[in-house]
Amino acid sequence: MTTNHSMPLVTQRLRERNRQALEAMIAAEDTVDQKRKTLDLKGSDAWERLAVVAQKESGQSHHCRRILLSVYNSYAWPLDLTRLRVLDRDLQQAALTVIEWSLYASDELHEYTPIGNKLMQRFAAIEKQKEQ
């Protein structure tokens, strides 16, 4: 009867692969955490920039409202990507930052601002009125 001497090597290779996979997962989570922190800083400024413009009365305001509403509730307010094309470059960048932030944020974006929910309800009322 012979013993299989390669079995410890297989076990060792499996352990090494598991360790490498775990290290890769931890590194990926660290990357996501860093991205989230960066977006938390940039995202709130971008959200406020869009919210300030959205409170005005212009074509840009209309599109900023719709972008914010889409991030707020995409089922009720689907995002038409052509809205991004009609915005000034700085507003385009703010909109893209807000959209990316919405993917990484741990809370709803409007919750980062004390009056965020009230503001979103106001924007929704304005846009519903414009649709009629």
Query: Is 66 inside a domain boundary?
Result: yes
Q: What is the pLDDT of residue 33?
A: 83
Query: Is 23 inside a domain boundary?
Result: yes
Quick check: 39 and 105 in contact, CB under 8 A?
A: yes
Domain ranges, residue 24 = 7-131
pTM of the model: 0.75
As for how many domains the chain has, the answer is 1
Query: Is 81 inside a domain boundary?
Result: yes
Query: Is 45 inside a domain boundary?
Result: yes
Question: Sorting pLDDT into bands at 50, 70 and 90, what band is 3?
Answer: low
**4 vs 11: CA distance, rounded Å:** 12
Query: Is 1 inside a domain boundary?
Result: no
Query: Is 2 inside a domain boundary?
Result: no
